[in-house]
Amino acid sequence: MVDIRDAAQADAAEIVHLGALMYKAVGAKPTPSWALESARLVKARLGDTLIGKVIDAPEGGLAACGLVNVAPRLPRPGSHAHHVGYVQWVSTAPQHQRKGYARAIMNALIAATDARGIEVVELHASPMGRDLYDDLGFFIKDDNIAMTLLRRHKSD
Q: Would you list the domain boundaries of the chain? A: 5-135
pLDDT band at 155, cuts 50/70/90? low
Percent residues over pLDDT 70 in the chain: 99
Residues in the chain: 156
Radius of gyration (Cα) for the chain, nearest Å? 16
Q: Decide if 93 contacts 106 (C-beta within 8 A).
A: no
Task: Report domain 5-135's class.
Answer: alpha beta
Distance CA 15, CA 7 (A): 9
Distance CA 63, CA 41 (A): 21
Q: pTM here?
A: 0.90
Residues 85-138: pLDDT tens digits?
999 999 999 999 999 999 999 999 999 999 999 999 999 888 888 999 999 999
Q: Is the pLDDT of residue 1 over 60?
A: yes
Residues 43-75: pLDDT tens digits?
999 999 999 999 999 999 999 999 999 999 988
Position 143 scores a pLDDT of 83
pLDDT band at 156, cuts 50/70/90? very low
Q: Is the pLDDT of residue 27 over 50?
A: yes
Q: Mean pLDDT throughout 26-50?
A: 95
Residues 6+ apart with CB under 8 A from 32: none
Helix, strand or coil for residue 150? Answer: coil
